[in-house]
Amino acid sequence: MIGKLNHVAIVVPDLEKAVATYRDILGATVSEPMDLPDHGVTTVFVELPNTKIELLLPLGENSPIARFLEKNPAGGMHHVCYEVEDIFAARNKLVGAGARILGDGEPKNGAHNKPVLFLHPKDFCGTLVELEQV
Ligand code: CO
């Protein structure tokens, strides 16, 4: 059901420093920062030949990643995103298998303006999983 790895997301305490690390030290191509107020994050995408790294900085007071950064002050890996062809079919199959979908269970538009869902880490090997319809 899942297809390509779309991105790996890393929460960072200092976005400029993270950009400099990926751009200047690791030599990757990075995007301009983009504020996503609906999601409570500022994102930068690092383009790799086979996937992307999504650098995430909390935005606003109720950012869903603020607590993660409190627990991991140096930052850390936050989620992996797999591509699916049909997010509703994927959701129904997962719910049928007893997996928990975060939030109200309905797909929302994500950072690429495509529908996404997040799956409970306890059902997926301790890793927060994002599904994105491509
Ligand atoms: Co993501």
Distance from the alpha carbon of residue 114 to the mean position of ligand 1, in angstroms: 11
Q: Which residue has the higher pLDDT, 41 or 38?
A: 41
Q: Which structural domain, as residue segments, surrounds residue 108?
A: 5-133
- Report which DSSP code applies to 122: G
Distance from the alpha carbon of residue 130 to the mean position of ligand 1, in angstroms: 6
Tell me how many domains the chain contains.
1
The string of pLDDT tens digits covering residues 119-132 is 999 999 999 999 99
**Could you tell me which of 69, 30, 34, 32 has the C-alpha nearest to residue 52?**
30
Percent of the chain with pLDDT over 90: 90
The string of pLDDT tens digits covering residues 57-74 is 999 988 999 999 999 999
CATH code at position 107? 3.10.180.10
Distance from the alpha carbon of residue 102 to the mean position of ligand 1, in angstroms: 14
CA 48 to CA 85: how far, in whole Å? 22
Quickly count: other Cβ atoms within 10 Å of residue 103's Cβ. 10
Distance from the alpha carbon of residue 96 to the mean position of ligand 1, in angstroms: 24
Distance from the alpha carbon of residue 80 to the mean position of ligand 1, in angstroms: 7
Helix (H) or strand (E) segment spanning residue 87: helix 87-96
Tokens of 40: 């409570």
Tokens of 60: 């606003």
Confidence (pTM) = 0.93
The residues annotated as belonging to the active site are 130
